Chain A
Amino acid sequence: MAKVKPRVKVPRKAEVGEVITIKTLISHPMESGQRKDKKTGELIPRQIINRFVASFEGETVFEAAVEPAVSANPYFSFDMTVPGPGTLAFEWHDDDGSVYAQEKKIKIG
């Protein structure tokens, strides 16, 4: 499988109470389990990101339960109110059990 690379866009600095938009993208084929191998005619087994979680200092901000109907290279964006400085942690859970993680620090000022 192609290399899975998470990408996240978060402002480095924000004011306390400011609303920021967080954009996330991970390169992943999101194999739906519906496609057939063109040569053999057999179904390609499903392998998708089935769960995405974003948390700030351990508190969940946004969570998505994902089905095969989400496009390849799944993209999610959402808004967060910044309560103070801290670290945003992102996790993508793959069907094969692996978890891809990314962190971003937010400074105040």
Chain B
Amino acid sequence: MTMTRRDFTRLGLGAAAVAATGLGLAPRPAEAAGTVEEAIAAFTGGAETTEGGIDLGAPEIAENGNTVPIEVAAEGAAAIMLLASGNPSPGVATFRFGKLAAASAASTRIRLAQTQDIVAVAEMKDGSFRKVSRTVKVTIGGCGG
């Protein structure tokens, strides 16, 4: 196969994208948790997490990674952290619920750079932790270029 000029440009762009994500683009100290595991450990303080017990609503296929609607609910949770394993930085948002919150549930819209697993970790009122994850297929990534 001969390499056309167009192919070459595409290769170059791809390599640049890989380099950019590889370097992690120096996250700020506040979000220094580099991996999903580190972020979970920072949230739980190293406590064990049990699987399940959280409703994580996310589309199976997200056409536009710039706004992916996410719903999360965990009965009896004091806080829920959302993580995106395939983004340049895994942190998405952490929700805390006060006494007046009718349910430990919230929804928002998030950015996903590529097809990946979304992880939700809930801190229950009794101090235990729960975790679920879901795969979301992303057609067009949402982290700019």
- A contact set with B: CB distance below 8 Å: 19-20, 32-36, 43, 46, 55-56, 59-72, 74-81, 83
Contact = CB atoms under 8 A, between A and B. Distances in A.
Interface string B90-110: 011111111111110111111
Contact of B95 (A59, A64, A68): A64
28 contacts: A19-B102, A19-B103, A20-B102, A32-B143, A34-B20, A35-B143, A36-B144, A59-B100, A61-B98, A62-B98, A62-B101, A63-B96, A63-B98, A64-B95, A64-B106, A69-B111, A70-B111, A71-B67, A71-B109, A72-B66, A72-B67, A74-B109, A78-B97, A79-B101, A79-B105, A80-B101, A81-B101, A83-B100
Chain B interface category by residue count: 35 or more
Contacts of A34: 20, 25, 88, 143-144
A70 B65 CA distance: 11
Interface in B24-74: 25, 28, 31, 66-68
B106 to A, nearest CB: 5
A75 B66 CA distance: 13
A70 B101 contact: no
Nearest to B71: A77
Interface of B: 20, 25, 28, 31, 66-68, 84, 87-89, 91-103, 105-112, 142-145
Nearest to A63: B96
A70 B143 contact: no
B131 to A, nearest CB: 18
Nearest to B83: A69
Contacts of B68: 71
Contacts of B28: 33, 46
